Amino acid sequence: MPIGRPVGPTHAVYVISVAAELAGVHPQTLRIYERKGLVEPARTKGGNRRYSEIDIDRLRRIQELTNDGLNLAGVKRVLELEAEIAGLRAALVAEQDDRAAEVQDTHKQYRRDLVPLKQSVTLYQRRRR
């Protein structure tokens, strides 16, 4: 694993000043967001905040919503609803996958030894005497 590179989008590596710059806000704004419950950065053993790529994306989304005129309570509600929608979509996809698997299982149970007879039309002709 290369040193100095984030392992993934959930790996918290950015200090508050860098996170604030990436999100386009003041570091004090990030502290306010944390107090309001809008973002929960990871903490080091020393208690310093560390932000991940996911946190940065969330901060940018908060900025979009506040720029659209929402207050922080409205932003919090929108973020909660967006998370709920994402969860419901994931549950729906999982349910659709389960149903598709059940259909496949049902199809596998069909008897493959039943083969249709060859059917053709034959004209009936009486034998002449």
Is the predicted pLDDT of residue 1 greater than 50, yes or no?
Answer: no
Is the predicted pLDDT of residue 113 greater than 70, yes or no?
Answer: no
* DSSP, residue by residue, 60-99: HHHHHHHHTT--HHHHHHHHHHHHHHHHHHHHHHHHHHHH
50, containing H or E segment: strand 49-50
Residues 41 and 49: beta-carbon distance below 8 Å:
yes
> Structure pTM?
0.69
Q: What is the pLDDT of residues 48-75, one digit of tens each?
A: 999 999 999 999 999 999 999 999 999 9
Cα 115 to Cα 112: distance, rounded to the nearest angstrom? 7
User: What architecture is the 16-105 domain classified under in CATH?
Assistant: Orthogonal Bundle (1.10)
pLDDT at 108: 80
Cα 20 to Cα 30: distance, rounded to the nearest angstrom? 7
pLDDT at 121: 73
Domain residue spans in the chain?
A: 16-105
